[in-house]
Amino acid sequence: MTTKADFNAEEWSTVVEAPVLAGMRVAKAHRGGTIRESVAMAKVYNAAREQHQGESELLDALVSSPPSVDPRGLKDAGDIGALSTERLQEALRVLGSKGTPEEVGQYKSFVLAVAQAAAEAHKEGGFIGIGGREISPEEQAVLDELRGLLEAQPATPR
């Protein structure tokens, strides 16, 4: 079983940052709802703490670490896409070399849950809450990109 102690500070920061960046990328895909999307992402962390506690030391440590992003990596809002892809690929590489395939799979599921929560947090379009879409086409495109990226990274055994 992999623990936080198996990572150096930079590796752990990358592992912690990637899910938040994935959620931010979805939130920035379409204007509006940023506060709701942030709250929805926080709820995923809280739910994971409550529902999966003790199942994986790695996931327990991840959801116990305050989600944050190093602002030095973001020059402007356009950087979020490239930065999220870079961090997610690096996090998967690090996890693939240190974690079990099951832990990598749990991490991928968690990243998608965070991104999905951001997408579903704010109804897009409509008028005063009537009509509209649960997920905008722009958000769906980002979710599809993230899903493709996660599926392209195999859970390699250590």
pLDDT of residue 42: 85
pLDDT of residue 55: 77
Spell out, as residue ranges, where the chain has pLDDT lower than 70.
31-33, 52, 68-78, 122-133, 153-158
Q: Does residue 158 lie in a domain region?
A: no
pLDDT of residue 61: 92
Q: Does residue 120 lie in a domain region?
A: yes
For 40-81, write each residue's pLDDT tens digit.
888 888 888 787 677 789 989 998 887 766 655 555 556 788
Q: Does residue 157 lie in a domain region?
A: no
Total domain count, the chain: 1
Q: Does residue 38 lie in a domain region?
A: yes
Closest CA to 18 of 79, 77, 110, 84: 84
The residues near 9 (Cβ < 8 Å, ≥ 6 apart) are none
Domain of 131 in residue numbering reads as: 4-152
Q: Does residue 79 lie in a domain region?
A: yes
pLDDT of residue 29: 85
Q: Does residue 96 lie in a domain region?
A: yes
pLDDT of residue 141: 93
Put simply, whether the predicted model's pTM sits higher than 0.75 gets the answer yes
82 vs 88: CA distance, rounded Å? 10
pLDDT of residue 33: 54
Q: Does residue 111 lie in a domain region?
A: yes
